[in-house]
Amino acid sequence: MDAIDDLGDAIDVTRNRLTPVRKGTWLKFALVVFFVGSSGIGGMGGIPGNFGTGTDEPTFEGEQPTGATDVPVDDVLVWALAILAVLVVLWLAYAFIAAVMEFVFLESLRSSDVRLRRYFSANLGTGLWLFLFRLGLQLLFGILAIVPAAVVFLSMESGFDGVSAGLLLLYIFYAFALAVIYSIVMRFTTDFVTPIMLLEDRGVLASWGRFWTTLKASWADYGVYLLLVWVLQLIVGIAAGFVLVFGGLLLAIPFGIVAFLLFIALDMIGLILAALVAIVGLVLFAIFALLFYVPITTYFRYYALLLLGDTDGDLDLIPDRREAVRDGGLGSASRDDDGDGAGPGGFGSDDGSGWGDSDGRDGSDRRNDSSGWDDSGDQDDEPADRSGSDDWGQRDDRDRSADSDEDDDGWR
C-alpha cells in the first residue's frame, strides 16, 4: 500500500533535501515553518462573552456622583473593542501570509534552494484564494457549531438549567464530528490540493475537483494516510515536547542567572538589562524550536507529496526526488534533457545521490549558501520559478535581467 511504503521514502527524500546542513537553507526553512507549521489546522475561535454592561446600573451603599460608573465602563468597552480589532487584523495578516507561504514551502521542496521573496511574490494570487477558502471554511464550520447551540439555548425558558444531559451529550458528539470533518478538509486542502493548485495553475475549488477523482479512486490509501499522520503527529508531538522543554531549560538556566545578577546588582538599569537578556533568551529558544521542527514539517509534507504522486502520476510535484531515492539516483539523470546533469527539479545526479553536487549549478548554490542568505545564483531554470518562465525549464530575457539585478540579501 502506497500510504505505508511512502513512510520510509519520505525519510530519504527529507534527508536528501536538508543535507548537507547549510545555515542559510535551514534558517529560511525555519521562517517558512513558522507560518506553515500549523496554518489551516486551527481556526479563529469564537469570542465568547457580552461586551455590554446590561440594563441595571451597579448599586453601592451611599450616594455616588451621577455617571461615576459610566465613564470607566465605556473606557473598558472601547479598549476591549480596540484590542479585539487589533488581534483580528493581526490574525488575518498572519493567515494570509501563511497561505502564501504554503506555496513558498512547496516551491522550496521541489527545487534545490529556497528563494523567499521570489516564491512569495510569484504566489500572491494563489495564496489569496487559499486564504479566502480557509477563511470561508472556518466561518462555515463556526456557524454550524454555534447556531444549533444558540437555537437550543434560546428555546429553553430557564436557560442552561433546562438543557438535559442527553441533549448536551448529543451536541458534544455533533461538535466532535464537525471538528473531525473540518480537520480532514483542511488537511487535505493543505497537503494535496495546494500542490495541484501549484502544479496545474488551478483555483482552490477546481483543484479540489481534480483531487476528488484521485481520492475516490484511492480512498483506502488516503484513509490509512490520515490514521498514520494522526498517530505519528501525536507521537512526534509528545517527543518534541520533551526535547523543547529540556532545551528550554538549558537556555533558561544561564540566561536566568545572568538576568538575576544584573537585577540585584544594578537596580533599575539592571532590571532593563535583565529584561533584554530574557528577550534574547526567548528569541534564541524560538529559533531553536523552529529549527527543530524544520525536518519534522518537511517530512510530513514530503510524505503527502509522495502519496499524491503515487496515486496519480499526473499530480506528481517531485518526480525527480522520488526517483532519486527509489532508483539510486538514476531518476533525475534519466530526466535530464539538456545534458547538464540536472533534472527539471533543479538538482542533478552526477554523484548518484540525486543531488549532483559536482555540477556547476550546485557549486554556485554552495557558494551562495555559505553566506547564509544569498539567493543569487544561476539555478533559475527550475520549475518553481514561474514568474519569468516561458515553460518549465527555460527562462526568457526578463528572467535573466531579473537575475542580473538580484541583490545578495537572500530574500529574492
Q: pLDDT for 282-310, tens place per residue? A: 999 999 999 999 999 999 999 999 999 99
Residue 56 lies in a domain: no
Does 105 lie in the same domain as 180? yes
Q: What 8-state DSSP symbol labels residue 136? A: H
Residue 63 lies in a domain: no
Does 391 lie in the same domain as 289? no
Q: What is the pLDDT of residue 44?
A: 34
Beta pairing partners, 348:
342
Q: Give me 377's grid cell.
A: 545564483
Q: What is the pLDDT of residue 156?
A: 65
Does 338 lie in the same domain as 277? no
Final residue belonging to a domain, choices 189, 223, 257: 223
Does 342 lie in the same domain as 305? no
Does 41 lie in the same domain as 188? yes
**DSSP symbols for 95-162:** HHHHHHHHHHHHHHHHSSS--HHHHHHHTHHHHHHHHHHHHHHHHHHHHHHHHHHHHHHHH-TTGGGG
Residue 8 lies in a domain: no
Q: What is the mean pLDDT of residues 306-328?
A: 90
pTM of the predicted protein model: 0.70
Final residue belonging to a domain, choices 163, 193, 223: 223
Residue 235 lies in a domain: yes
Residue 116 lies in a domain: yes
Does residue 188 surpass a pLDDT of 90?
yes
Does residue 135 surpass a pLDDT of 50?
yes
Q: What is the pLDDT of residue 59?
A: 44
Does 239 lie in the same domain as 205? no
Residue 10 lies in a domain: no
Does 163 lie in the same domain as 76? yes
Q: What is the pLDDT of residue 299?
A: 96
Q: What is the pLDDT of residue 176?
A: 94
Does 194 lie in the same domain as 76? yes
Place of cell 438535559: 164
Which range in 198-212, 240-254, 390-404 is most confidently predicted, on average pLDDT?
Answer: 198-212
Does residue 205 surpass a pLDDT of 70?
yes
Residue 402 lies in a domain: yes
Residue 150 lies in a domain: yes
Range of the domain at 300: 229-321
Does residue 281 surpass a pLDDT of 80?
yes
Domain count, the chain: 3
Final residue belonging to a domain, choices 223, 238, 258: 223
Does residue 346 surpass a pLDDT of 50?
no
Does 141 lie in the same domain as 276? no
Does 354 lie in the same domain as 315? no
Does 194 lie in the same domain as 301? no
Q: What is the pLDDT of residue 155?
A: 67
What would the pLDDT profile of 36-65 be if each residue is shown by its tens digit? 986 433 333 333 333 333 334 444 444 445
Does 146 lie in the same domain as 235? no
Task: Using alpha carbons, select from 117, 104, 97 the residue that is nearest to residue 39.
Answer: 97
CA atoms within 13 A on the CB side of 402: 17
Q: What 8-state DSSP symbol labels residue 193? A: I
